Chains A and B, each alone.
Chain A
């Protein structure tokens, strides 16, 4: 870690970045039923998603006092939230879970983590 003050030097030569920073381009076909739109992503990235969600759950579970309770809520209650979400999100999440083989509650956790855990 470095916690020293900003040295006042602005980077001027980072662009163009190395080709290794390039990301893949995928298409989401909105003409497909919501359940099937993310099939390609879900199948291709299921292992990475499983691993990441496992890490997130470990982290949430390590919260003192309430960690176990939160994990129970994720495992037992989060799945019930999905049908209450507006279209097309409920069906898209169900499709993501079905095609990746990941627990529905865990898929929801991953999708709301950024905004829910702002504390």
Chain B
């Protein structure tokens, strides 16, 4: 996955993400694609969670998936979740749950709870960084005001790091699936091309279209990419597009 929060010259924040999933989960020889990734694409949808006929939050999701991996709460926050690969991963969490240790939360449920209840960027940040989790993840959180963007690096019991957009170099913050203070795996470096393309885009020319273009650049776009979601917390907009990487393309 690749998530980006960026701020234009007028202080408007944009949040975009590629959701990549299905690595090593079977290869479809006919379609030249990962089998699970290909199966997920027709199941992508935008969901509008409403109470009293009013939107509480929106999410880009897969049919039948009740948690949230990408969502926006109008006027409050935008939020995406990227997988963090660790030996002490989510399977430890489920074993603990099976053994009766149930104090931690499922990450995608915490994301949904936060979108449901948060009334401010700060409140969301606290909730996402303090709650015990069942799987290590990166939360990429955006707000409505200038500089409100951060990446929260989570392990099961604690927050390992909170990386603020202002500290990342100014006008954008970008997360793939690696700790930002470490180099990415050399055969899975989407960070370098995405960063290069963001710098080429420039803050002056930042638009949702520009972010979509960055996320459509190979290998940021790859065979695992199911969709690109474009969000803005201030307006509450959510635009989702099914993605497919035409050959020749990186497998991940």
A residues neighboring B (CB under 8 Å): 1-3, 6, 8-17, 20-31, 38, 41-42, 44-45, 48-49, 51-52, 55-56, 58-59, 77, 81, 84-86, 89, 92-93, 96, 100, 107, 110-112, 114-119
A6 to B194, CA, bound (A): 10
Given contacts A96-B64, A110-B64, A117-B90, contact A45 B109 (CB under 8 A): no
- What A residues does B243 contact at CB under 8 A? 21
- What A residues does B223 contact at CB under 8 A? 1
Main secondary structure of the interface of A (DSSP, over half): mixed
Given contacts A15-B213, A17-B212, A51-B39, contact A24 B86 (CB under 8 A): no
Q: Is the CB of B193 within 8 A of A6?
A: yes
- What B residues does A49 contact at CB under 8 A? 43, 63-64
- What B residues does A29 contact at CB under 8 A? 50
Given contacts A48-B42, A86-B109, contact A23 B86 (CB under 8 A): no
- What B residues does A116 contact at CB under 8 A? 89-91, 93-94, 134-135
Q: Is the CB of B97 within 8 A of A81?
A: yes
> How many chain-B residues does the 8 Å CB contact rule pick out?
78
A77 to B250, CA, bound (A): 38
Q: Is the CB of A100 within 8 A of B64?
A: yes
A81 to B97, CA, bound (A): 8
- What A residues does B146 contact at CB under 8 A? none
Expressed in whole angstroms, the minimum distance between the Cβ of B191 and any Cβ of chain A is 11
B residues neighboring A (CB under 8 Å): 21, 25-26, 35-36, 39-40, 42-52, 56, 60, 63-67, 69, 83-87, 89-91, 93-94, 97-98, 102, 105-109, 134-137, 187, 189, 192-193, 196-197, 200-201, 208-210, 212-214, 216-219, 221, 223, 227, 240-243, 247-251
Q: 15 new A-B pairs (CB below 8 Å) besides A2-B248, A6-B193, A115-B83?
A: A2-B218, A3-B250, A10-B201, A10-B214, A13-B213, A24-B46, A25-B47, A26-B46, A28-B48, A30-B50, A52-B40, A55-B36, A93-B66, A111-B66, A116-B89
A111 touches which one: B36, B50, B56, B65 (CB < 8 A)? B65
Closest A residue, CB atoms, query B193: A6
A86 to B247, CA, bound (A): 44
